[in-house]
A and B are shown apart, each in its own frame.
Chain A
């Protein structure tokens, strides 16, 4: 099997008539890494994938695969293989014929095709299933057959377009682990498209978060989650409590933002260093798991008052829904450590957080929506 190669998007723009699907996207994907494009539907991530695979030509910019500009090269000529969202397995062919289709195209003799298909069936842990029809397999098995079929073409880059979206939750979580394991075994570059942040964070070496055709941040899972570059990334990836306000003071990488819930201190996100000045409109994000109930009477900058509106017990944790002063809705997650119960509904509590775990960001485009 060939080894993976890197993929580079250089200032890529893709337009359909008046509509710009992708705007000035630049990303370097290292060879052999698992790279995800994460974003809500319609953000242009599938368009990027189709451009890398050759089904779509960019309006501007360059795609380089293994350092080579692939402009004008058709999908059949590129060292990429695409796994479609609906898998697009051929229903009238047997499983092994599906897997060996790219070899059939190359004119490989039948016996050798069969042998290669059986090897790949072994790799995806589906031995002896080659003579079945695709319809006779379960969703997860079909998924793996699609991977095997793509691998049979000996691509250097595997492109996956939300291939897990049709599976139920349990299977999806299982397939995440499995896909990651296959990727590490074969050492190819995987480019993965998803709107599911859990998938992106668990599987990827690096994630690009997209919104309306623009790549807002590229980083590893921890960077994206803990140090979002924009207000959109902060609110799209994971759950976050957002407080909008104006910067009151900036000091040593931290800002204090005046919000309806009070003056809240927070660390300024790396991407926003130097961009926040007193008087700017800004947002403070605090994750539900970083909030805690402070002892009554406790005070300080990193405290604010709220009323419990509802709570859900989820076994490992309590989700507590609160209303802060000024009306913003707050979610707090408390780990179940055997405490008798979370604060009861209607109770007035004081919440606190560690300012280093809160992030301050310019409101940016997100504020126009509110």
Chain B
């Protein structure tokens, strides 16, 4: 079938108005919201930082300077390499990985409970109470965590009142607040894919395994988790990507000595006004995250198509 016939069929099936509207919507989305911004970033990242009047001039050529800077840092620095940026980069990825694992461990039982144990209006109430906190702005939520974990915050006050500790614990410096905040921020994105995957599991399979003498952990390990694999991967991918790319939570909840890689990207753009280096760093983060996610999917033998379901 050639393109002409395909197009005619498409118009006939959907009606001219709807067909045009869909074509416009989908192409706007793909072109202006996905392809162009990314291409612009890639383009930026391979150029020098130039004063406005030199842009497009003879000096405006492609370069890998910005990427080299990530590895080498300023010429002649003490370490011989960009210790700060590279360390922060790895720490961010590892921390994001831990946030993801932590999130999964917390959310799996909740999702299982909602999908297979809770019933009727109680289950709906639970789903609602998961959504309600997200009616509040992300930054306000981060500040709320700062207050809860602060020196004179709720947790310290309670612990001191019941006499567990004598002086306040600095949760902010210890990054506890940051991890808690990040974990909380994306709980919904973990629970819902898990929930919808587990929900479609036939309850008889769980009972059959129980009937054959299986302890609860083996039921989850051999029956529920393999069944929910796509949901697990999709939840973990989103949480990992978003934690690694979070800015507000690290900015507000991060300790004075801990930087998140996104903060370095932010600095590149808005403190040094070096958009080119900022773009290069953003691409480094994006590509690394994608490699990690794809290798984990490969490891657990999940196909891309399964996640979209």
Contacts and interface: CB of A to CB of B under 8 A. Distances in A.
Interface of A: 53-55, 74-77, 80-82, 84-86, 88, 90-93, 101-102, 104-106, 149, 153
B210 interface: yes
Contact of B211 (A81, A86, A106): A81
Contacts of A105: 212-215, 218
Contact of B212 (A54, A81, A92): A81
Contacts of B208: 82, 84, 88, 90
Contact of A92 (B209, B213, B214, B227): B227
Interface string B202-226: 1011011111111100100011001
B211 A76 contact: yes
Contacts of A101: 209, 212, 214, 222
B210 A86 contact: no
B212 A153 contact: yes
Nearest to B218: A105
A79 B218 CA distance: 20
Contacts of B207: 55, 75, 82, 84, 88
Contact of A153 (B202, B204, B213, B223): B213
15 contacts: A53-B211, A55-B207, A55-B211, A75-B211, A84-B204, A84-B207, A86-B204, A88-B204, A88-B205, A90-B208, A90-B209, A101-B214, A104-B222, A105-B215, A153-B213
A245 to B, nearest CB: 47
A76 B204 contact: no
A107 B222 CA distance: 14
Contacts of A153: 211-213
Interface centre among B208, B210, B218, B227 (most CB of A within 10 A): B208
B213 A106 contact: yes
B117 to A, nearest CB: 15
A93 B212 CA distance: 15
Consensus secondary structure, chain A interface: loop
Interface string B267-290: 000000000000000000000000
A75 B223 CA distance: 17
Nearest to B209: A101
B206 to A, nearest CB: 9
Nearest to B225: A92
A264 B207 CA distance: 53
A85 to B, nearest CB: 8
Given A90-B223, A92-B226, A105-B218, A75 B210 contact: yes
A217 to B, nearest CB: 30
A102 B218 CA distance: 11
Interface in B170-223: 202, 204-205, 207-215, 218, 222-223
Contact of B213 (A76, A82, A93): A76
A92 B209 CA distance: 14
Given A76-B213, A86-B204, 18 more contacts: A53-B211, A54-B211, A55-B207, A76-B210, A76-B212, A81-B212, A82-B208, A82-B211, A88-B204, A90-B208, A90-B222, A91-B227, A92-B226, A93-B222, A101-B222, A104-B218, A104-B222, A105-B212
Contacts of A104: 218, 222
Ranked 5 nearest A-B pairs via Cβ = A88-B204, A102-B212, A88-B208, A76-B213, A84-B204
